[in-house]
Amino acid sequence: MGLIEVLNPRVRVVAQGAPIAPRPLSLDGKVLGLLNNAKPNADVLQERVAELLEARFAIKGRVWKRKPGASLPAEGLDDFSRACDVVINASGD
C-alpha cells in the first residue's frame, strides 16, 4: 500500500494595515479624477456620480482615465494623480 499525502488548503491570513488616504473637508474647487476599469457600465456609473457631486459641490473640473482592459493594470497613474485632487475608481458590470 502506498503513502497518502493529505494537503490542507487553509492558510493563516495575516492582515496588514495600510493608511487610508486623507480626505478633503470639501470637494469645492477640487479636480475630480475618474478612473474607469474598462468594465461595461463603469462609465455610466462614474458619469452619474460625477453629476451628483457637481450638483452638491463647486467641482473645478474632471479628468478621465480608462484602463486598457479590466484585467490589465492602469498606465500613467503618476501623471493622472498629479492632475487630480480626488479620484473615484469605478467597477462596472
Q: How far apart are CA 41 and CA 52, in angstroms?
A: 17
3-state class (DSSP) for residue 45: helix
Q: What are the tens digits of pLDDT across the range 52-87?
A: 999 999 999 999 999 998 888 888 999 999 999 999
The number of residues making up the chain comes to: 93
Closest CA to 36 of 2, 4, 80, 6: 80
Q: What are the tens digits of pLDDT across the range 3-42?
A: 898 888 888 888 888 888 888 999 999 999 999 988 888 8
Split at pLDDT 50, 70, 90, the class of 92 is low
Burial letters 59-70, b for 16+ CB under 10 A, else e: beeebebebeee
Q: Which residues pair with 61 in a beta bridge?
A: 31
